[in-house]
């Protein structure tokens, strides 16, 4: 129930606009802020001003507040509210009485239901134990199968490791053979180049020797002709 008029607290009319409400709030907040006002009631007034502004600044909460404010001003509403409070109080009393009567009336039925529920629970518990036993056996079989599978994977990994090492050794041997072949070809190329060089040198020496012989013969022929003359 509304105990204070928020419009009066802010010092504005009930049909005031939102801007007017904001201006009034700022003015009142500055005036009654505990840092600016040392009066004992300043803090309480500042708190009321803040609550009033929080309600009136939003359209939805302001409409709800206006409706409540109109109802409070209606004298019929006040009488009706008192009657409603009495009716609600009486309903609470009757409700408590009915609850007690129902508790007593249905106590045996509840006990029977609890007994049946307990028996059903025991039966289901027994079934669950049997199911759990079967489940444990299944788990044990699955564990054995997983263990066998792990051993198989380990063997396969070991075989793969051996194959990998064999491939690495094969690649290493192939690389060594390629290096040896390259060295052999390089050496062979060097020998071939050396043989070609020596062959060319020998050929040049032969040519020089033959040329020298020819020149020598031509010289002797010329001397013989000079003597005849």
The parent domain of residue 38 ranges over 6-73
Q: How many domains does the chain have?
A: 1
Question: How confident is the model at residue 125, as a pLDDT?
Answer: 85
- 10: nearest Cα among 46, 36, 49, 54: 49
Report yes or no on 16 lying in a domain: yes
Report yes or no on 222 lying in a domain: no
Report yes or no on 90 lying in a domain: no
Residue in the structure block whose two tokens are 């239901």: 113
64, 49 contact by CB (below 8 A): no
Report yes or no on 35 lying in a domain: yes
The stretch 140-164 carries a mean pLDDT of: 89
Report yes or no on 119 lying in a domain: no
CA distance 136 to 141: 9
Torsion of CA 51, 52, 56, 62, to 10 degrees: 90
Note the pTM of the prediction, 2 decimals.
Answer: 0.35
The stretch 156-160 carries a mean pLDDT of: 90
Tokens of 4: 């204070």
Question: How confident is the model at residue 29, as a pLDDT?
Answer: 92
The stretch 90-116 carries a mean pLDDT of: 78
Ramachandran bin of 37, using left for φ above 0, alpha for ψ from -120 to 50, beta for the remaining angles: beta
User: What CATH code is carried by the domain that includes residue 50?
Assistant: 1.10.287.110
- Alpha carbons within 13 angstroms on the beta-carbon side of residue 109 total 5
Centre a 10 Å sphere on the Cβ of residue 66 and count the other Cβ atoms it contains: 15
Report yes or no on 38 lying in a domain: yes
Report yes or no on 137 lying in a domain: no
Report yes or no on 202 lying in a domain: no
What is the chain's mean pLDDT, rounded? Answer: 83
Please say if the pLDDT value at position 12 is more than 90. yes
Which tens digits make up the pLDDT trace of 122-131? 888 888 888 8
User: 173 vs 22, 55, 161, 177, 179, CA distance in Å?
Assistant: 92, 90, 18, 6, 10
């Amino acid at each position: 129930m509304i105990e204070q008029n928020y419009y009066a607290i802010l010092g504005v009319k009930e049909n005031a606009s939102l801007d007017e409400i904001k201006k009034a709030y700022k003015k009142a907040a500055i005036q009654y802020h505990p840092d600016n006002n040392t009066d004992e009631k300043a803090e309480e007034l500042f708190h009321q001003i803040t609550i009033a502004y929080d309600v009136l600044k939003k359209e939805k909460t302001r409409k709800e507040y206006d409706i409540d404010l109109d109802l409070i001003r209606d004298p019929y509403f006040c009488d009706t509210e008192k009657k409603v409070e009495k009716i609600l109080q009486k309903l609470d009393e009757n409700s408590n009485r009915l609850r007690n009567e129902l508790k007593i009336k249905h106590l045996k039925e509840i006990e029977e239901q609890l007994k049946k529920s307990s028996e059903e629970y025991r039966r289901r518990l027994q079934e669950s134990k049997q199911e759990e036993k079967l489940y444990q056996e299944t788990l044990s079989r699955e564990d054995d199968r997983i263990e066998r599978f792990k051993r198989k994977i380990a063997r396969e990994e070991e075989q793969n490791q051996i194959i990998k090492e064999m491939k690495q050794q094969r690649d290493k041997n192939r690389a060594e053979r390629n290096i040896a072949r390259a060295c052999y070809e390089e050496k062979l190329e060097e020998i071939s180049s050396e043989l070609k060089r020596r062959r060319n040198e020998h050929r040049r020496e032969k040519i020089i020797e033959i040329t020298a012989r020819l020149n020598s013969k031509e010289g002797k022929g010329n001397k013989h002709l000079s003597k005849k003359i």
